[in-house]
Structure 1
């Protein structure tokens, strides 16, 4: 096998857990008009088509603000904004409607040709659009009549879900009809956020000019809580594009959306690298104020005991006394949701740059929703910070879960010597190992 082929095989193996984790997940993608100024949208369409072929459910909400401004400027017509929102008179609305329709058709055409020009030739790509968003007029703000500028009144979530379940990529333009039949101009930021909230989407993908959000010190932020994102937003110009996007992202997170990924539209394959690599390329924003994975403290002992007791009684976990747990509490991480411990895991350092992952547990009513993956990710990050290169796990009933998350079968003899001496042959746990890069 050549070096290039070997690298490709290794890459595919590394991404397979992410592919598995994202299958059947719902993504709402925010594309503003900036994307359409060059060739970037063509690459993005190809990437989204690939994600669709991997089983992801995709809604694309696109805007045409910059195209509208260009057309109005070419006609020597004034472009009026109020707090960053267009005052949409009938002339501007005609331009918005025409451009929204034109770009919807272009996107449909591009999605239709994306796969024939790829190794996935003959794979069908289904695209649809429709009146999934009902709008109403914004009205008068600060004494300014915004005319045909609208705001989202309702998102027809069930109709959207039906199309997504049939495998369609759904396109939503920056316009919405009212109950009286009027057409209104909507902002892409509000529309994408509202659609993501209505669908309770797993992720909102924000394509932006900036490839990563930067703090006041100018340094890139790889991860932000929604509180930190709100603070950062307040430091940005009120009428600025980044402020509008960030405010919309925070609203989504505060209303049921799982995560927001902020990525640059100029980078080739940015969404693939963001979703299918450990560190990603953009900024991840999560609502950690409500749920967070953190290091355990002595105050968490009782909650952890309550969590793991049913698993101990079922033989899934080794029994731990309260005294032992108190002694080992510094090795534990927990998943805390609204003050309740719903998951835990422990990292026990061994010799030879190795450690044991132990006591992985998630409350039954939260199982199968990605909590185990979050705990594993946090433990692996801690292990790397401690210079650990090899992670072992011993299990009797959850072997397949660890196999699906990058562990490989091993033998008790592969354990470090001291851990071999304490291996319980009567319990006969299966041993798995994972090499940390």
Structure 2
């Protein structure tokens, strides 16, 4: 029978011998019985150490070289932050903050990042990716993000001559999609149904009666009419409101690094024109009247006694209206998806819908278009198709 303890002891002895062979300086016993040797220092210097026994001096030598080896070892973590030292200079503060939070989410305190990057092979990479995806129930987008961080770290290590070749060559994010958690939501989860919208509007009008000077409610209703981003609503100024349109050219942004809000360009950095309807024009007229009566009027469309109303306040108001009506909590983004889906179901092209909402057609199709038609709508469509069928003899 194999004696595990004996095998382990033999392995440790062999490892100890190999470490001592690196030490080419003499080990000797002095007249005082102490054992001595020199350990190399920077710039060609040497440091004398002494111990009571030969075993103790050999242990000191081994520890010295082991510490040196660990310091020279480039772990995945060291290589990652070497890449970050370069990458952080190429991106904005919010992206850097995202990198930091993602590092904590994917890598922090894992055994993988402690490994010598030279020893990491494709099998270790596959195991780490598969395990992390399953454990954290990552969706495909998050899987791609994690894969990207690892791939760029290895590429940086190649560029900096730490390793000769990227071990992830030949691997693709799609190789791991089978382990991903599919977070499919129904149209009802993404959008606001007609029934819930009626309840919300009833709440809006009740607020206007009981607390007409509470401006965030008007901003939420405005979101339902325009599908604007919450930051765009918060940053809208009166000089961008025309007779029959509004100019959407800026948005409130949040710097996650400095924790400050500021006004900048829209998300896609493009201005766009959005038509005013009778409903939205009437809403803006009511807002201006209330703000004039209460002394809130300023350059910002949605303002109170403290000035411009920030995006988080508007978002919080939207969710609070849902809670008050005891319906599923939805934010401003749900109004945006609802308006787009209504347009698409009404036959509006992707090109037009995307232009109105200020994003690409691909984004519109993938993230904003949901079937909002009722059973009656579908029945009418099928009936129209059936009427054109040849009659049976």
Q: Into which bin does the TM-score normalised by the smaller protein fall?
A: under 0.3
Larger Rg: 2
Q: Which has the higher strand share?
A: 1
Q: Which has the higher helix share?
A: 2
TM-score, structure 2 normalization: 0.22
TM-score, structure 1 normalization: 0.20
